[in-house]
Structure 1
Amino acid sequence: MRKREVGTCNRESNSLEHGLAYIEKNRAIDDVILSGGDPLLLDTESIDRILSKLKSFDHVEVIRIHTRVLCTLPSRITDNLVSVLKKYHPLYINTHFNHPLEITDMAASACAMLADAGIPLGCQTVLLKGINDTPEVMTELMKGLIRMRVRPYYLHHPDPVAGTAHLRPSLETGLNIIKSMRGHISGIAIPHYVIDLPGGYGKVPVTPEYIKSLDGNKAVVENYQGHRCQYLF
């Protein structure tokens, strides 16, 4: 999906300045995501400049950085970079791990540096057919993330991008994975399974149906083991 970003260009471009000007002008914007490409591949001085500018807008309450360098280039997380990032709390970092084999000692060390600096870490994983589309692999990945102090956030169903059909599992596969984790691992290790609707309509959670019926103030609820009970509310 990001192949259009390949090549050399100056990220300190007019488009960036226009984006910052737009955020400054539109005071309804209180949450800003720096994505890409990968914003942490910028030099540290540029990152500092961008964050400083965003922080100067009093209506911007939260800054989020989406990056994969914790997995693909953990050496990018240096003392100098961390010292810059921690100046701009509340700052959140969402990263992308898709398989337990990506959880290396270097990745764990990079995550620890950020977590020790008080930066909350989350992970957005993509469900990939033949790679992580089993309960066993996904559970191992989520437990590994928690050990690194990375909170599983989203499990994305792959977008229908041309040439990637071989990587797209069924929605039923994803639902079964989520159901398999419920009741067997910590709730903080279970991500939100989502699809990104075409046409810019946003992300929608896809959840197993635990409420089997509603009647007045009574509900029939099924737990992770398949047992049903009546709940009064």
Structure 2
Amino acid sequence: MTGDGGSGAAGVDPQLLWLDRPRPRRGRRPAYSREAITAAAVALADAEGLDAVTMRRVAAEVGAGVMSLYSYAPDKETLLELMVDHVSGELSPVDPPTGDWRADLKAVAHLQRSHMLRHPWLPAALATRRTPGPNTLAFLEHALAVLRPTGLDGGTKLEIFAQLTSFVAGHVAHEIAQAAASRSADRAAAEARYLAAVAADGHHPELAEALASPGRPLTPDATFARFLNRLVDGLDTA
């Protein structure tokens, strides 16, 4: 038992976590379930951020003693694994792959972005390696099916999916930070004045030219779509 600090060097054993589920004990039915505890942790992270998720806080949310939670999740690292896979159940694609792998891969990325915006703590949680649970594996299976028409080997397809997920997570993290910063009108105006001064100082001609170029739609959706197009359209399947 390691409390809120993680599970140490050994990490989470995926065999024990996902395949060797504990059998129900005889006698009185447990007052809590792993699913209910995970859902409470997700709700807490959605509302207050990942730092708010501690074993003590989750126990308080479900009305349990801290010690009783350890039979469901022995540490916060395990709880994070459960949380990531729990919300991955929302990623069920509506339609099967069309055969146009670039369009389908972009649809995968848009699903991931919407998913991470609903759960802003996910990019940080995904920054460390997670063992894929059943919901995560189902989405991975779909992504690999999307890439089947490329004829690429399995390892390369896994790398492309990892690259795509990393891109989406990084973009969403930046998007969330920018949205928070833009809520300050004074800060946005100050940044605009600063960039205008830099562009006019004669020492940054490349930047001045770039800032003077025709404007593009700067909505979050349009910006993400442009970045995603560059990434996916530039993939080499030769």
TM-score (norm 2): 0.28
Larger Cα Rg: Structure 1 or Structure 2?
2
Q: Which structure carries more strand by proportion?
A: 1
